Structure 1
Amino acid sequence: MAQAAKRVVKIRADEYYDRRETRSAAARQKAQLAALQALIEHAKKASPYYRDILKGVRPAAITSLAALAKLPVTRKSDLAPRQKAKPPLGGLEGARPSEIANYFQSPGPLYEAYGRPNAKAKDPWRFARAMWAAGCRPGDLVHNTFSYHLTPAGRMTEGSAHAIGCPVFPAGIGNTELQLDAIAQLRPKVYCGTPSFLKILLEKGAELGRPTASLKAGLVGGEALPPSLRAELKAKGVAVLQSYGTAELGLIAYESPALEGMILDEDVIVEIVRPGTGDPVAPGEVGEVVVTVLANPAYPMIRFATGDLSAILPGVSPCGRTAPRIRGWMGRADQTTKVKGMFITPGQIAQVMARHPEITRARLEVTSENNLDAMTLRIEVQGAVDTGAVAASLQAVCKLRGAIAVAAAGSLPNDGKVIADLRSYQ
């Protein structure tokens, strides 16, 4: 049987952000293990949390990924109670307050810290690598619609754009018509934000006769990018690639024009483990994403369990980047779900119920219509209920609007799910 022809991807002269993207696997592992040893040594000295959980660990003894896999896992779900008990960061901080550039808040609430950019770390969040792969080059104006309020996404991508040498319009979220005015006047080339908001901008611009044709490239994240939405955005003139990151970790992985999986950032070590444990799964098996960040000593993250599901892909990308690849975000190991770029947790639904004792059972259903996320809280109640008040509580707790539907007693599925993600990712 004849073998299928290998896909060839044309590589431009300025394809790569730096030489590290094409180094050998052996060179990468050697450099990363050296950085890991230095990180562990620093964390044990600077962080009370790591001093405790890594007691007895000799940094010099961590000479392989197998040795790394024996270290304790820090779970995202454990951060909120730890931070509340020992503010500001639960003892995980690895720098003095004078060395911190920003503290951020994420849903939970959780808090994160990033050190000040400097000559050795001009891009602490490391999204520049992903932005470069998406087509961002020095001098390109970036229209950044990630939030600048409380959460870090806006500042993360802005700092990375600056590291490339790009000016940024800090649009943030909302104010669609004002943003269209800015696009018409400033003519940005690159969009950063969620794919659904890019769709809204392009459609509203067409409806109002506002020019958006300057936008040619985009780095999107914060929510799923179905193939149908990617194709729709491309048909409207904007070629987008995805990034995968979190507030605690910065960039984890990103797409290249080859569109074959997501390439791991050069400053992270990613393990795929059996959910709820720290045990690596077999190559190619779906498991929980556990990340060690080698480039943010101000807030060390060593074997941080994200709660996200993915799997390692075999081989390397046809684009020539040699770092390992993952299949991308494949859901959550728990029921936490991302809607319009915001995490919604079972605990938040419990908070809504606590505000309305008449609710006896609740189930949040997340759907997508025309590639736009929507959520409906289905509730069983005892007696009368003010659905408007429940909707207000849902928005106050989750920071997103949702519909309220009263269900007959005993009609909600008895499957243990507080959040049901009914979206299709095909």
Structure 2
Amino acid sequence: MDIETYYASFDQPVREVVAYGFAHSPAFRARMEAAGLTPDDINGVADLARLPIQRKEDLITIQAQGPNLGGMLTIPASRLRHIFQSPGPIYDPEPDQPDSWRWGPAFRAAGFGPDDIVLNCFGYHLTPAGVMFEEGARAAGSAVIPGGIGAQAQQIEAMAALGVTAYAGLPSYLKALLEKAKEQGHDPKRWPINKAFVAAEPLPPSLRALFEEEYGIRVYDGYGTAETGNLGFNGPERHGWHLPDDALVQICDINTGAPVAPGQTGEVVVTLFRRDYILVRLGVGDLSAVMVDAPPASLPTPRLVGWLGRSGDSVKVRGLFVHPRHADEALRGLPGLTAYQIVITRHDHRDELTCRFVPAAGADAQALGFTVAGALQEALKLRCNVEAVAAIASDAKRFVDERTWE
């Protein structure tokens, strides 16, 4: 399927969701009217470019403006199954229906099925990842152990005792789990685990090879966000991310918002067709491109080449978005702190955050370091190393990402 055919398949769903959102979502109606548009102006996918892209940062402002997430919901919040919170904060509503994040096809493509017991190590605390991937695995018929992040000793015990056959979570966490198991005297090579579905951070070829060559675990990866759910996943050939057939994913120019040609890099822009929460033309901030001259595949939809970076200031660390604004808010006005810089590195396939800070004259650097670390962990939901330094250049960037990917 070429990209034009893919887009054309969404013409009617686009008309329907725009009309429904205009009639039932005060926030979406206000957005359309601000752009001088009515539902009659949107006759298909091509017309969506007339509506300015909505940013994730916009959701924070809109949701804070009133009940029902600032008018983005079309139903009372009490009728939802879950309401999650992502950094921002952005509230992510889940409708009361199975696999609403639409990950089932990704798990089935990765070979998950009724004979599998899955250890799900995506986070369950407030953020939606744990639940959304659990529901995807359940849609494929698998049993799920809700492991979350942390408590590795208990997770290893469960893997050994219950005959876990599959894993879902961050690739870096799977590596740490297997290494911890070996330290505890286990031999993971003898376990029945043979497949993994990973997301939320890059999967370098060397790490995929390590899982497969050392442990016999065949790894599939996918792409999505807390707001939108599934936006792409490996097919059986594991070459690129197949676009879903139940959500419109476009690659758009970061300046004009217009869709770009296959092969060109642009921002991922998403339109969902759910009726309870209207998300139309949401720019998620990630960069990608539609694959051209792709080898044959068993799944029909076009493919993305993968993750090509970010279009804005935020970065993803250990599966969570980190924005410089959050660090500024946490450290602004902290007594004894004169300057800081946060550096993101990657060691042995694991992201690390380090805050270099300059104490004021006479300040207790060690005590200030504890305060800085605590404030950042509270704001970013990630542990941050701290390092006192004598000076930081006045024109230095507050956030420096030194990671490299294979």
Does the alignment reach a TM-score above 0.5?
yes
Q: How far apart, CA to CA, are the structure 1 residues paired with 2:355 and 2:322? A: 12
Structure 1's 329 and 26: CA in aligned 2 closer, same or farther, altered over 3 A?
closer
1:183 is matched with 159
Q: How far apart, CA to CA, are the structure 2 residues paired with 1:163 and 1:275? A: 35
**Aligned 1:196-211 pairs, distance under 5 A:** 196-211=172-187
Work out whether 1:239 is the aligned partner of 2:218: yes
Partner residue of 1:313 out of 264, 286, 291: 291
**Aligned 1:264-343 pairs, distance under 5 A:** 264-275=243-254, 277-294=256-273, 296-316=274-294, 318-343=296-321
Q: Which residue identity lines up with residue 238 of structure 1 in the other structure? A: I
Greater mean alpha carbon deviation, residues 40-49 or residues 279-288: 279-288
| SS of structure 2 residue aligned to 1:69 | helix
| SS of structure 2 residue aligned to 1:374 | strand
1:249 is matched with 228
Q: How far apart, CA to CA, are the structure 2 residues paired with 1:214 and 1:151? A: 30
* Contact 2:315–2:323 under 8 Å retained in 1: yes
Q: How far apart, CA to CA, are the structure 2 residues paired with 1:220 and 1:67? A: 35
* Contact 2:10–2:44 under 8 Å retained in 1: no
For structure 2, which runs of at least 5 residues remain unmatched after alignment? none
1:63 deviates by 3.6
Q: How far apart, CA to CA, are the structure 2 residues paired with 1:302 and 1:70? A: 12
1:211 deviates by 4.9
Partner residue of 2:128 out of 130, 152, 160: 152
* Contact 2:235–2:298 under 8 Å retained in 1: no
Structure 1's 281 and 86: CA in aligned 2 closer, same or farther, altered over 3 A?
same
1:366 is matched with 344
Q: How far apart, CA to CA, are the structure 2 residues paired with 1:397 and 1:25? A: 40
* Contact 1:377–1:402 under 8 Å retained in 2: yes
**Aligned 1:7-86 pairs, distance under 5 A:** 28-55=6-33, 57-59=37-39, 61-86=41-66
1:408 is matched with 390
Q: Deviations over 1:37-80 (max 9, x none)?
A: 11112211221111112236454653443212112321101111
Structure 1's 251 and 73: CA in aligned 2 closer, same or farther, altered over 3 A?
same
For normalisation by structure 1, the TM-score amounts to: 0.87
| SS of structure 1 residue aligned to 2:10 | helix
Q: Deviations over 1:228-267 (max 9, x none)?
A: 1111111222111111111110101112232322111111
Q: How far apart, CA to CA, are the structure 1 residues paired with 2:251 and 2:121? A: 31
Q: How far apart, CA to CA, are the structure 2 residues paired with 1:308 and 1:27? A: 24
For normalisation by structure 2, the TM-score amounts to: 0.91
| SS of structure 1 residue aligned to 2:88 | coil
C-alpha RMSD of the superposition:
2.1
Structure 1's 95 and 139: CA in aligned 2 closer, same or farther, altered over 3 A?
farther
1:13 is matched with none
Greater mean alpha carbon deviation, residues 211-220 or residues 51-60: 51-60
| SS of structure 2 residue aligned to 1:231 | helix
Q: How far apart, CA to CA, are the structure 2 residues paired with 1:71 and 1:315? A: 31
Q: How far apart, CA to CA, are the structure 1 residues paired with 2:380 and 2:345? A: 16
* Contact 1:359–1:380 under 8 Å retained in 2: yes
For structure 1, which runs of at least 5 residues remain unmatched after alignment? 1-22
Q: How far apart, CA to CA, are the structure 1 residues paired with 2:294 and 2:346? A: 33
* Contact 1:316–1:323 under 8 Å retained in 2: no
| SS of structure 2 residue aligned to 1:169 | strand
Structure 1's 410 and 248: CA in aligned 2 closer, same or farther, altered over 3 A?
closer
**Aligned 1:55-134 pairs, distance under 5 A:** 55=33, 57-59=37-39, 61-117=41-97, 122-134=98-110
Q: Which residue identity lines up with residue 313 of structure 2 in the other structure? A: Q
Q: How far apart, CA to CA, are the structure 2 residues paired with 1:325 and 1:24? A: 10
1:27 deviates by 6.4
1:151 deviates by 0.6
- The percentage of counterpart residues that share the same residue type is 37
Structure 1's 100 and 328: CA in aligned 2 closer, same or farther, altered over 3 A?
same
1:396 is matched with 378
1:214 deviates by 1.6
Residues paired across the two proteins, number: 397
1:357 deviates by 4.0
Q: Which residue identity lines up with residue 402 of structure 1 in the other structure? A: C
